[in-house]
Structure 1
Amino acid sequence: MRNQINQDVECTLFRTAFDTLSYTPATLGNYFADVVNGKYKQPVENVRALVASGRQEEANACKKNLPLLVAGGRMEGGRKREHLVGYSRCVTGDLDHVPGSPAELLCRAKALAYVKAGHISPSGTGLKLFVLVDSDMEHHEQAFAVVSRLLEADLPGVKVDPSGKDPNRGCFVSYDPTAFYKEVAEVVNIPVAPDQTDVFSPSEPRSLSNYIDKFEMNNPFTDGYRHSYVVRLASALNSAGFSQAEVTAECLYRYTAPGFGEKEILTTVGDIYRRYRTAHGSKNWCPPAAAATAGSLKSIKSITGTSENADLSDGSPLGPDIDDEDAGLPHFEKALLAALPTVLADALKGAVDDTEFDVLLLSSLTVLSTALPGVRGMNADDICYPPFYTLVIGPSGSGKGCISRAHKLVVPWQRAVYDNSFRKVAEYKKEKEAYELDKMKQRQGKSKPAPGTPLEEPQPVIQQQLHISGYTSTARMNEQLEANDPYASLLFENELESINNTLAQDFGGYGSVLNEAFHHEIVANSSKHNGSSFILHPKLGVLASGTPGMLLQLIPSTEKGLYSRFLIYRITGMSSYHPLTSSDDKLENAFYFDELGTRVLKIAQFLEKSSTFISFTDRQRKKLDRYFEREYYNVRVFGNEDIASVVLRHRMIIFRICMVLTALRKGEAELDVPKMKVGDDDFEMAFHIGTCCLRHSQLVSTTMKHSNSELHFKMPTAQLDLFAAMPDKFSTAEILEESVVRGISRASVFRMLKNAKNHKLLISYASGYYQKTDLGKSIAISDMG
């Protein structure tokens, strides 16, 4: 153990364990003052009274309503580990059900020089002890293990709760007049190997002074810009892997001057290392002036000796970054969509530009997919229903808010289902009341059983509500999906932020429900508090919009299966200002989509009375298979394998769009036919919409792996175009030379060659020489290449 470092412990105080969005910053000293002064006296004594009377379950429930202290540091936006923005180097020792008297054990803990603070737990049966360590957050688990061993050795008979190994672990507040807090306590030293704290390239000497000298050549340290200079320098040194202590000492030596003192330098460097701790060592150190670029390559001979198994990190497997406006994301071709069902075509009449047309079309199809009762089909030998998921992603002010107009199309249908269900619930309540009254009279002996069939207990009827908001608990969503059957539910949110905030809560983790409901797989839930639910074929559509940042919060990685379940439309380029028009002079224009909703209601009511089975023709299946087989192997060989499921699920979504278009035509014409084939016009429109959105989804997927706050697109077909550009026979040197021009890393080229050989796209007829097979020759350069 060594002398103290920062003894002022920053903490976070949450209003309750469940309300993780209501919190205030605090210090450990202020918190202990409240513990001693009795700020939490009444609720804590209520808990202790319940414990003393043996009502442990009630005590636990009461305790969960207490405020929660996270001593691990300052948190922002929630209580998960990723919300910890300032680590306090404080380890919490939770000692439950201690042997003997907690008060006596607290006195013994106070005598330990390294225990910073301690109090009796709110239940009155244990202790909460707080110990400072000298390690960073990445070594918190190691620090917890060291502190646990110390406490268990110095306080024989106690056992430290292992839950404290997480730095975001909280403890309920307490009341204890005997609690102690030391202004200064010993700091426990945590042994950390040198290679765990500083990250350097093994081929370069460790020279901080040399690095700063090179940095100063292009970044002079001048009056008026000293603070910003130290910010930029500390950021670069943090990314290069130099330790905070070493950087602080060097900056104090070089830059301390009148008007720019030690305190400001210490604060600035410390703030950069705290805020960007995840970037520490992300760029291996090398002298800045000597950095080579792809443009400085003079001869291909310098790279032909690279092993195919080399682990190289130059470049990207998807090529260089491209800007939004250069992404080439397609709009829907209006000429191909001229034959839409009437109600859809009317919904699109007011679109002011191509983006609004596209967004209105997608959102209308999505909401209408949930208003087609009795419609189904088959996909890969499984029953399939029309509802599907859509996300509209774009920057603020890009026009994605028009999805609210499309939502009005299904409001009359949702209201009709609600009203009909409301009447059934009222009837059930009357029957239930009569049944209970009859039973009560019989128990009291006031009436004899009436002749005939005795009253039977009515089956429960739950109110149906097809609209589901993003702020819905998992239990409530399961209940609604079960109650709404056989109708489809619609999860609609104008802002993804609502869904993200709910998924961050313990009660709102319905991500698995979304995954299962997309495929109409069984959704089951069972808990003591909420009972059991079992939905055999859940039907759920999802429509939401948000910014690119909100999407990354919802789905940070393409490894999550939820990404492939969404039809994604990404708004790119410069959005246009829309001037006011004379249409605002007519009040009836505000109810245009409501009137369309009345027409949708009639279609839905007709379809409910006439069940519909929809299927493809053989020609349509063959066209789908030709296209998606090629796309499937393209992403397997030339792209990110995570998005192979994106390709397959877009094939399924195209079928669901076909079901929507076909069912709308049946409803509009009131055709009483049980089986329908998808019309060729409807198939071509659905195929066009689905394949355009696949392009959007593939491009957006290239942003999912980025850790930078500024996201850039990459070319999703970069490797395919490289392969297609090569002649039928080529050498390793030739393809590597071409890859340099295209900005594709050497390691990625070798992996692509290996995959291409495994999938019989080429053969190696000599060391370093390849020949394309007939299958490989069929690979053509993409539109983006």
Structure 2
Amino acid sequence: MNLNQKQTVECTLYFSAFDTQTLMLTTLERYIADVRSGKHKKAVEKVQAYLAASENEKAEAGKKRLPLLVPGGAMAGGRKLEHMVRYSGCICFDLDDVLLPPEQILSQAVQLGYVKAGHISPSHTGNKLFVLVDSDQEHHLQAFEQVRAMIENDLPGVTVDISGKDANRGCFASYDPDAFYKEVAEVVHVPQETVPVAKKAPAVRASSYPDNSLSNYIDKFEANNPFAGGGRHSFVLKLASALNSAGFDENEVMAECLRRYVEPGFAEKEIRGIVADVYRRYRSSHGSNPWCPPTASTGQKSLTSLTSLTPISENPTTEGESSLGFDIDPDEVGLPHFDRAILERCPGLISEILKVATDDREYDLLLLSSLTVLSTIMPGVSGMLKNQLYKPPFYTLIVGPSGSGKGSINVVRKLADPWQNYVYDVSKAQVKEYEEKREASDNYKAQVRAAKGKKPAGPPVEEPELVRQKHLHMSGYTTTARMIEQLDVNSPYASFLYETELESVNNTIAQEFGGYSYVLNQAFQHERISCSSKTNGTSYIEFPELGFLATGTPGMLTKLIPSTESGLYSRMLIYRITGRSEYQPLTSADDTLCSLRYFERLGQRVLDMAVHLESSPTFVSFSDKQRKRLDRFFEREYNNVRVFGNNDIASVVLRHRLIVFRMAMTLTGIRKGESRNTDGKIEIADDDFEIAFHIGKCCLRHSLLVSTSLKHSDTEQHYKLPDAQVDLFEAMPDEFKTSDILEEARVRGISRASVFRMLKKAQGYGLLLLVSTGYYRKTEKGKNVKK
């Protein structure tokens, strides 16, 4: 063992187990400091509370939302072994379900000179120990086995989990005020010459059996014993019994079972328990029925070409499978909150609004709702996208269960009140003037009729042009005819449909007189709205402007938009509230009217901004650099949903690009209005672009998740991982066989028919090449579907 004088251990920290694209480089020392300081305390205690209540599935989902540390080195572009760019020589050893209290194990581990750091696991049932080795990545497995034996010898009664055998193994962040970190620890020497490891091969445990016989045995077992929901426990129990009798090593059986059978609802811990229990109880039967791998028959024909192989049939989707895998709880996806570091650069007005937010959820809701409201108060602001003129107003829908805090957005309505009242009062004065002119015109006509053709004294009075009362606010309880009339009357200003209860919109749309989904669809794109009736004849609006903000439960959403085929879904910026709602205590802020008047004062500020914008028209545009960034992102997302998802939601991706532009226009208008700038043409500032782009990307993830629930007719909502197919495709090596991807798809719960459809589409979009029957090779484009 060697003693180093300076030890800095480079690690990689991921946002969560679900988000392996969001990562940062850190050090082991900094990570342990966060574990001690309580940075993750709230999330960890929530996991422990679920375990205490025997809600194991919720605990597992909560654990997977914790940050994930890969101590093995620096990663880039993902979390697979091939994404490791620098090896740190640090191995994490997982001690689960120890007999002694984990605090006692930790106090013993700190006495071992070669243990660099350690802490108690988030479940508080085991420990994580970190050890440095002097070997390279190619000898990681050998190093793991060597140190594993040392730990099990030095800590009696402790068994090391073999899952840490891979260099890219991660561990979930925890909270442990007694966690330790040594500035200098012994570095374990690994004699590399003793176990040669093939170069260019990923670090996997070398099999003790020839011809991959363990895998072959399990393949044959599966042929007669299907692995399916409802019988998974008994399946693994029978398989482990058969493998024990056949003489296979327990550790290799454990690793292979984990590789094949871990899935949502059937966790790693359960599989480990089954296999370990079988091998412990039936140790005397080990090897009693040894299995010999089959030898090739000399009487069979030789294989002359790949086409002579038996083709794999394209079976229809079996029960429990779908094109996007298993049902999930939306909370499991780890939908991110908006990044406050980016939003610190918001215009001053937005920053003032967000000051009242009490937590991340309220912060997100206030940001989205205030931007939506302000987008309707941008008179004279416009821009071009794909050769079409657009104004800032956009549609936002906030979806969450009852009691999840949706009502916190109600205060933002006060931002629009002064502007709407101002337009109403100006319009009222114009209507009064019109009525006076009409009265004068009617009197003049009466005089003409009374004079029997003689012109009365004085100049003739012309009939005035019709002026109707503007009212920018719209209610969900509005008939289609009234909505069309109001949009026409309110022009050139944007109307604003605001409802905190989506039920009112649903109830009205369901009525014959209120089916205004068509109007919402047309107004979003500023497309002509026409209306014909026997009473009123034909009328149309050439350039309608409408903003929309509403909140509702998931059940209300499916009534409004039962299918993603509805064009209305793609026009909505959707935010899905996830996570457990916390009780909000009463505060002294209710002792005065200050909080109420705070938004009233901001509303006056908005009015001043709007009056200035109306007097100084503004044309907004992207820079070339911004356009290229948008195109790179949205082209990738568009191709991904076409190949790996539901074709219905391709329009969701395209319209999110437009919504990003409208948010950027709104932010630009706010800055101009507050600074009293008079420039007629403004290029979107980089800060405003980053903010709008960030919000758009986050909400696109929300929208894609919610879209997976709309295809089901059941009253209970079923959610899927929206990127299940693209994750499957990315997980495959650059060259693979049909059987390989089918096996991986089966583990992920994706149907065979969906895999074949995906392969066909991937070829059509240039992501994949068919080398020969059953063999595929990814193109450069296909290698970067998530980069």
* Aligned-partner Cα distance in 1 for 2:411–2:419: 15
- Deviation of 1:293 after TM superposition, in Å, equals 5.7
| TM-score for both structures, normalised by structure 2 | 0.61
| Contact 1:614/1:677, CA 8 A, preserved across alignment | yes
**1:177-209, CA deviations, whole angstroms, 9 ceiling, x for partnerless residues?**
xxxxxxxxxxxxxxxxxxxxxxxxxxxxxxxxx
- 2:510 maps to 504
Say what the alpha-carbon RMSD is for the aligned residues: 2.1
Distance 1:599 1:477, change over 3 A: same
| Contact 2:396/2:573, CA 8 A, preserved across alignment | yes
Say if 2:428 is the partner of 1:425: no
**1:310-357, CA deviations, whole angstroms, 9 ceiling, x for partnerless residues?**
433441101111113212111101111001111111111111111111
Tell me the secondary structure at the aligned position of residue 356 of structure 2: coil
| Contact 1:308/1:750, CA 8 A, preserved across alignment | no
Distance 1:482 1:290, change over 3 A: closer
- 2:499 maps to 493
Instruction: Give the residue type in structure 1 aligned to 2:364.
Output: D
| Contact 2:314/2:752, CA 8 A, preserved across alignment | no
* Aligned-partner Cα distance in 2 for 1:577–1:689: 27
Match of 2:444 among 431, 438, 451: 438
Unaligned runs of 5+ in 1: 1-287
Distance 1:402 1:305, change over 3 A: farther
Instruction: Give the residue type in structure 2 aligned to 1:749.
Output: V
Matches within 5 A, 1:47-62: none
Instruction: Give the residue type in structure 2 aligned to 1:534.
Output: Y
Say if 2:552 is the partner of 1:543: no
| TM-score for both structures, normalised by structure 1 | 0.61
Distance 1:780 1:344, change over 3 A: closer
Match of 1:616 among 593, 606, 622: 622
**1:534-561, CA deviations, whole angstroms, 9 ceiling, x for partnerless residues?**
2111100000000000000000000000
Say if 2:733 is the partner of 1:727: yes
- 2:460 maps to 454
Instruction: Give the residue type in structure 1 aligned to 2:591.
Output: D
| Contact 2:619/2:680, CA 8 A, preserved across alignment | yes
Match of 1:365 among 364, 371, 379: 371
Distance 1:550 1:601, change over 3 A: same
Taking only the aligned residue pairs, the percentage that are identical comes to 58
Matches within 5 A, 1:569-580: 569-580=575-586
| Contact 1:729/1:772, CA 8 A, preserved across alignment | yes
| Contact 1:327/1:713, CA 8 A, preserved across alignment | no
Instruction: Give the residue type in structure 2 aligned to 1:429.
Output: E
Tell me the secondary structure at the aligned position of residue 532 of structure 1: strand
Say if 2:763 is the partner of 1:763: no
Match of 1:707 among 663, 688, 713: 713
- 1:311 maps to 316
| Contact 1:369/1:387, CA 8 A, preserved across alignment | yes
- Deviation of 1:712 after TM superposition, in Å, equals 2.8
- 1:402 maps to 408
Tell me the secondary structure at the aligned position of residue 322 of structure 1: coil
Say if 2:638 is the partner of 1:647: no
**1:6-60, CA deviations, whole angstroms, 9 ceiling, x for partnerless residues?**
xxxxxxxxxxxxxxxxxxxxxxxxxxxxxxxxxxxxxxxxxxxxxxxxxxxxxxx
**1:444-482, CA deviations, whole angstroms, 9 ceiling, x for partnerless residues?**
228942456411111110110000100000110010000
Instruction: Give the residue type in structure 2 aligned to 1:656.
Output: R
Matches within 5 A, 1:684-699: 684-699=690-705
- Deviation of 1:307 after TM superposition, in Å, equals 4.9
- 2:338 maps to 332
Of 717-726 and 441-450, deviating more is 441-450
Of 343-352 and 321-330, deviating more is 321-330
- 2:301 maps to none
- Deviation of 1:588 after TM superposition, in Å, equals 2.4
**1:39-89, CA deviations, whole angstroms, 9 ceiling, x for partnerless residues?**
xxxxxxxxxxxxxxxxxxxxxxxxxxxxxxxxxxxxxxxxxxxxxxxxxxx
- Deviation of 1:290 after TM superposition, in Å, equals 11
Instruction: Give the residue type in structure 2 aligned to 1:473.
Output: T
Instruction: Give the residue type in structure 1 aligned to 2:727.
Output: D
* Aligned-partner Cα distance in 2 for 1:776–1:334: 33
Distance 1:421 1:617, change over 3 A: same
Say if 2:457 is the partner of 1:474: no
Say if 2:419 is the partner of 1:384: no
- 2:558 maps to 552
Matches within 5 A, 1:25-424: 296=235, 307=312, 309-314=314-319, 315-424=321-430
- 1:244 maps to none
Distance 1:485 1:498, change over 3 A: same
Of 751-760 and 372-381, deviating more is 751-760
**1:555-605, CA deviations, whole angstroms, 9 ceiling, x for partnerless residues?**
000000000000000001101111111111122222211110000000000
- 1:659 maps to 665
| Contact 1:761/1:773, CA 8 A, preserved across alignment | yes
Distance 1:289 1:622, change over 3 A: closer
- 2:677 maps to 671
Distance 1:719 1:474, change over 3 A: same
Instruction: Give the residue type in structure 2 aligned to 1:571.
Output: I
* Aligned-partner Cα distance in 2 for 1:424–1:533: 23
**1:735-754, CA deviations, whole angstroms, 9 ceiling, x for partnerless residues?**
11111111111111111111
* Aligned-partner Cα distance in 2 for 1:674–1:435: 41
Distance 1:644 1:683, change over 3 A: same
* Aligned-partner Cα distance in 2 for 1:542–1:567: 10
Unaligned runs of 5+ in 2: 1-225, 240-256, 261-308
* Aligned-partner Cα distance in 2 for 1:289–1:655: 48
* Aligned-partner Cα distance in 2 for 1:290–1:681: 50
* Aligned-partner Cα distance in 2 for 1:363–1:309: 47
| Contact 1:482/1:533, CA 8 A, preserved across alignment | no
Instruction: Give the residue type in structure 1 aligned to 2:492.
Output: P
Of 425-434 and 360-369, deviating more is 425-434
| Contact 1:313/1:747, CA 8 A, preserved across alignment | no
- 1:484 maps to 490
Tell me the secondary structure at the aligned position of residue 544 of structure 1: strand
| Contact 1:362/1:390, CA 8 A, preserved across alignment | yes
Say if 2:611 is the partner of 1:605: yes
Matches within 5 A, 1:8-23: none
| Contact 2:419/2:607, CA 8 A, preserved across alignment | yes
- Figure out how many residues of one structure are paired with residues of the other and give that number: 491
